[in-house]
Amino acid sequence: MIFKSLYQSKFIYRQFHTSSPRHIHPLIWVFLKPALKGVAWITGRSTRKWYQQLPPEKRSVFAEHLNRHKYKYIGIFGTIGTACAIHYYTHLEASPITGRRRFMMMNAEHLTLMSDMEKEKIAKMFSDQMFPEHSKQTQLVARVARRIIGANMDLDNIRNIKWTARVVDVDIKNAFVLPTGDIYVTRGLLETLINEDQLAIILAHELSHALLGHSAERLSYLQLIDMFGMSIFGAYIIWSIFPRDWISFVVNYIFENFITFTSRLPYSRLLEEEADEVGLMLAAKACFDVREAVALWRVVHEAEMNAALPEFISTHPASAKRAETLNEKLPWALDIRRQCHCSPLPENKPPVSKLNISNNPNEKAMEILAKPIVSVHNIPVINVNKKE
């Protein structure tokens, strides 16, 4: 997963398609997934009921039929498996920045459509709770975001996105970035941070999710797992072979949770770890104090010690593990800062208890992003990682 080692070894991933991959509209999957589940359950249960009602001599005839035509059925299932494999391999692509190979069923147009729907939903939900554009909270987020984006304009994805920043006046501690470039931060989160460096670490992490297309990748992976793991084959087999409905229901429930704990959640944690690493790079190129990443997650770990979920049932890595992993990457991130000619970091930072939210009434949030940025640290990732 670590893109540093991938680029050090200069692995270049390329994809080959005999034709353009067919991307299915995301709304189709919304209705197709539960429909396929229902079909699998009903078909599996009907198969079991039909077989249970067969007299012994009919069961023998059925067994002889399967044995006589076994190669035909093997060919049919082999053809289906080959078609699924072709579908999978023709939808593999290289992830931006990291070069990691991934399965992608959604294209940019579909992702933009879903992002616009999410943006409309947020606008309706928090229409009366958005800070004004000239508020000190919005200007703070925009100022930090401008600095991160401006220092990473050598990345194509950043240049191709129109960025905006909004602050939601709620107590919840959260921040996220839509793939369309809409940055949302809550007041509750701002009130818990002690400096702009910590805000930069969080924003860089969320920006990384958008730049890497993790939303589309996560949806694509979940559809892959559901289609070929649970919704069709798993559910059909379970409802076919177990003799009672309640047994099938319980086993299907256990199987679904098994898929979640062994596939869905680990993949989600992998994406979070990747965003942590790429975010550390973005913040380092913007000359923020990347040491705050470790301090931030250690504080989070201490705050949630009595309430944190075990990592294996969480979509995110444990805070203590994140702090440890980021601490291991600090020498690499600090080397990026030096290559970007950033000012040396002080050995001991003065204690700060609250994030300083200044207000400049003449500053427009994110306005500078539409202007040419002259002080861009144009350092390709492949060259940043020459030294450990």
Integer CA distances (angstroms), 194 to 105, 111, 301, 354, in order: 40, 34, 16, 4
Token digits of residue 318: 């444990």
> How far is it, in rounded angstroms, from Cα 14 to Cα 262?
28
Q: Where are the beta strands (DSSP E) in the chain?
A: 92-94, 101-103, 164-168, 175-177, 182-186
Secondary structure in 3-state letters for 327-383: HHHHHHHHHHHHHCCCCCCCCCCCCCCCCCCCCCCCCCCCHHHHCCCCCCCCCCHHH
Q: Please, which residues have CB within 8 angstroms of residue 234's CB and are 6 or more apart in sequence? A: 252, 255, 259
Token digits of residue 378: 């144009």
> How far is it, in rounded angstroms, from Cα 356 to Cα 124?
30
Catalytic residues: 206
Answer positive or negative: Cα dihedral of 228, 230, 231, 233: positive
Angle between helices 26-52 and 214-225 (to 10 degrees): 10
